[in-house]
Structure 1
Amino acid sequence: MRIAVTGSTGLIGSALVRSLLADGHQVVRLVRRRSELGPRPDGTVGVGWHPARGELDRAGLLGVEAVVHLAGAGVADRRWTEAYRREIRDSRVLGTRTLAAALAELDAPPAVLVSASAVGYYGQTGDRLIDETAPAGDDFLARVCVDWEGAARPAAEAGIRVVHPRTGLVLSAEGGAGGRLFPLFKLGLGGRLGSGEQYWSFISLADQIAALRFLIDNAQVSGPVNLTAPHPVTNAELTAAMGRVLGRPTLFAVPEFALKLVLGEMAVEVVGSHRVVPAKLLAAGFSFAHPEVDDAVRAAL
C-alpha cells in the first residue's frame, strides 16, 4: 500500500513510518525542506508542500491509497503567547485545508484520510465519562479542534473516507509529555501536578500506532474516533503508576499556582480534566495491547 504521512518526524509520525515500512508499505513523506525531497535513505520519498501558502505537489500523491495527517505545532512546546496561539491554530487548520483541497482535486483520490485531532475537542469535562457523542467544548483548544476537523470537509465532500483520531496523552519516553516526565520520575523527583484529581486519558505509543493503522484499514469507521486507553486515570493515579513501575518515590507535588506562573494559560491543559473513552474503537473490534496504566507505563520504558 502507498501511504502519505504529514508530521512524519514527530513522535507519532516517526513511529508510524517505522511500522509501515517494517510491513512492506511504501511511504510518502510530505516535507517542507527542499533537502528532504525525493528518495530518502530509509526507503521513503519526500514530496514538497507548504501548508501556510496552500501549496502541495499533487504529482507526488499519484498512486497514494491512504493519507495520515499528523502535522501541527506542538501544544506544549512553548508558552502560549498570542503569536504562538495563532501558530497552534494555523499550523493545523491551514495544513488540513491545503491537504484536503489537494486530495479532493486528484483524479484518483486516496480511499481514506486519517486527519488528526485531540481529546481537547471536548474542553474540560471534569469527572464525566466522555465518548465520541459528546459536544465540543468552548475553550481555546476545543475551538482549534473544531476548526481543525472542519478543515478536512473538502476531502469528505469528494467521497474520501475521513477519520479524525482524537488523541489523548501518548505515553512514551521518546518524546511528548512522557519525554519530559519520565526523566524526573527516574530521578525520584516526580509527583502529582496540581490537585492530582484531574483525569488524564492516556494511550501507549504502541496502541496509538496500532489504532492509526486500524483506522486506515477499517473501511467501516469514519468521523471522530477517540484514541485513548479504555480506562482513563487521574493524574495522581498516573503518578503512582510511574512510581510503582520505576521503583521511585513520588513525594513531590507542583501546586496549581506554580504551574500557572511557569506555563501561563497552557497550565489549564495540565490541571484540566478529560475523562475520555474509546467507544467507537472498541465497538469496531480494536484490541488494546496496554489497556491499563501500569501496562502503558511499562511499554513506554
Structure 2
Amino acid sequence: MNILMTGGTGLIGSAFIRKYRDTHQFTVTTRDKKRAGDKLGDQVTLLSSVDEITDISQFDAVINLQGEGIADKRWSDSRKKTLKDSRWQVTEKLAAMINQSEKPPKAFLSGSAVGYYGPRDAEPVNESDVAKNTDFAVTLCQEWERRALAAESSTRVVLLRTGVVLAKGEGALDKMLPPYKFGLGGPLGDGEQMMSWIQLEDMIRAIQYLLEHDNLSGPVNMTAPGPVANKAFSRTLASVLNKPHFMKVPGFVLKLGLGEMSSMLLEGQAVVPDKLRSHGFEFQYPTVREAFKVSV
C-alpha cells in the first residue's frame, strides 16, 4: 500500500514503519525532516505538512497519529490548547481532503485513546460504551473522533482507541522504570484504578490487521485483553525486574505535582478489545507479565 502517515516519528508510527517498510510505501509529515530522515531512513518520503499534498487520491490509506504527548507537560490552559490543536486541526484537514477527493483513500485510520470512556470502575468496557462523566481527556477524544468521522461518507474510518503502549526503552514504560530499578516501585494512589495497555508489537500488528480487513470500521479498542488494576500492574513489573514492591505514591502528592493531569494516573478504565478479538486478531502478548518480559 501507498500510505500517508502523520505522527510517523512517534513511538507507534516509527515502529510501524520499521516493521512494514518493505511491505508499504510511506509518506510522512514532519516538522523536522533531518531528524525524521535519520530515524525513518531514506525509503520514506518526507513532507513538512499535509498542506504539501495536492492529491490525496495517490494514497491507498491514511494513518493519522499526530498529536503532542499528553503526559509530557502539566495541563495548563495553553498546554490544553496545544494538545487539542495538534490533534483536531490535522484530523479535520485530512477528513476534508478525503471528502474532496474524486478517488479517496480506501481507509482512514485515525488516532484516539481510551480516555474517550472517562473514569470507570473495574467493569470491562468495549467499543459500544460511552463516557459516564466528562473531563478533559473525554472532550479531547470525542472531538478528535468527531472530526475523523466527517470522512466516513467517503472512506472507511477506523478510530484507534489506544491504551498505554508498553515498549522497550521508549514511551510511558521507560518513564516508569527508574524507581523500580532502584527498588522503589509501588502503586499510585490506592492502586485500584484500572489500566488498559498494549504491547508495542501487538499495536503495530493490529494497525496492519485493520488495513487488511475492510470489514472493520468505527471505534476499535487498541488494548490487550488483560487490563489490570494499577497495583497488579506495579507488582508484576517489580516481579519481572526481580525488585521489591513496597513503596506507594499517595494520590495527593500526584495531584500537587501534576495538577489535573494526575487524573490520568489516578483514574482509569478496563478497556477490552472486543472488535479485534471477534474478528480473529490474535495477541502475542495478552497478559501484562508477557508484555513486561519483552519490554523491560
TM-score (normalised: structure 1): 0.93
The question of whether the paired residues in 1 share the 8 Å contact of 2:164 and 2:198 is answered with yes
Residue equivalent to 2:240: 245
The question of whether the paired residues in 2 share the 8 Å contact of 1:30 and 1:48 is answered with yes
Residue equivalent to 1:98: 93
Residue equivalent to 1:149: 145
- Deviating above 6 A after TM superposition, structure 1's stretches of 4 or more consecutive aligned residues are 36-40
1:289 counterpart = 2:280: no
Residue equivalent to 1:24: 23
The question of whether the paired residues in 2 share the 8 Å contact of 1:47 and 1:60 is answered with no
Residue equivalent to 2:169: 174
Residue 267 (structure 1) aligned to one of 224, 240, 262:
262
Mapping for residues 77-226 of structure 1, pairs under 5 Å: 77-136=72-131, 137-158=133-154, 160-226=155-221
Paired letter, 1:29: V
Gaps of 5+ in 2: none
Structure 1 CA distance, aligned partners of 2:243 and 2:55? 50
Range with bigger deviation, 97-106 or 198-207: 97-106
CA shift digits 1:116-173 (9 cap, x unpaired):
1000000001112110110134111111111000011332122x10000100111123
Structure 2 CA distance, aligned partners of 1:149 and 1:292? 28
Residue equivalent to 2:11: 11
Deviation at 1:32, TM superposition (A): 3.2
The question of whether the paired residues in 2 share the 8 Å contact of 1:37 and 1:48 is answered with no
The question of whether the paired residues in 2 share the 8 Å contact of 1:47 and 1:57 is answered with yes
Structure 1 CA distance, aligned partners of 2:57 and 2:122? 46
The question of whether the paired residues in 2 share the 8 Å contact of 1:20 and 1:27 is answered with no
User: SS of the counterpart of 2:42?
Assistant: coil
Structure 2 CA distance, aligned partners of 1:60 and 1:288? 36
The question of whether the paired residues in 2 share the 8 Å contact of 1:56 and 1:102 is answered with no
Structure 2 CA distance, aligned partners of 1:60 and 1:294? 45
Residue equivalent to 1:52: none
The question of whether the paired residues in 2 share the 8 Å contact of 1:92 and 1:148 is answered with yes
Deviation at 1:208, TM superposition (A): 0.7
Q: How many residues align?
A: 294
Structure 1 CA distance, aligned partners of 2:57 and 2:124? 42
User: SS of the counterpart of 2:144?
Assistant: helix
Residue equivalent to 1:276: 271
CA shift digits 1:26-78 (9 cap, x unpaired):
111022346679998431001231xxxxx622236452111111000111000
Paired letter, 1:148: W
Structure 2 CA distance, aligned partners of 1:241 and 1:98? 42
Structure 2 CA distance, aligned partners of 1:37 and 1:240? 37
The alignment's C-alpha RMSD in Å is 1.9
Structure 1 CA distance, aligned partners of 2:36 and 2:81? 28
Q: Closer, same or farther in 2 for the Cα pair 1:17/1:58, shift >3 Å?
A: same
Q: Closer, same or farther in 2 for the Cα pair 1:37/1:19, shift >3 Å?
A: closer
Mapping for residues 20-99 of structure 1, pairs under 5 Å: 20-21=20-21, 23-33=22-32, 41-49=41-49, 56-59=51-54, 61-99=56-94
User: SS of the counterpart of 1:117?
Assistant: strand
Structure 2 CA distance, aligned partners of 1:189 and 1:10? 29
Structure 1 CA distance, aligned partners of 2:276 and 2:32? 35
Structure 1 CA distance, aligned partners of 2:196 and 2:26? 30
Q: Closer, same or farther in 2 for the Cα pair 1:104/1:289, shift >3 Å?
A: same
TM-score (normalised: structure 2): 0.94
Structure 2 CA distance, aligned partners of 1:35 and 1:195? 45
Gaps of 5+ in 1: 50-54
Deviation at 1:95, TM superposition (A): 1.4
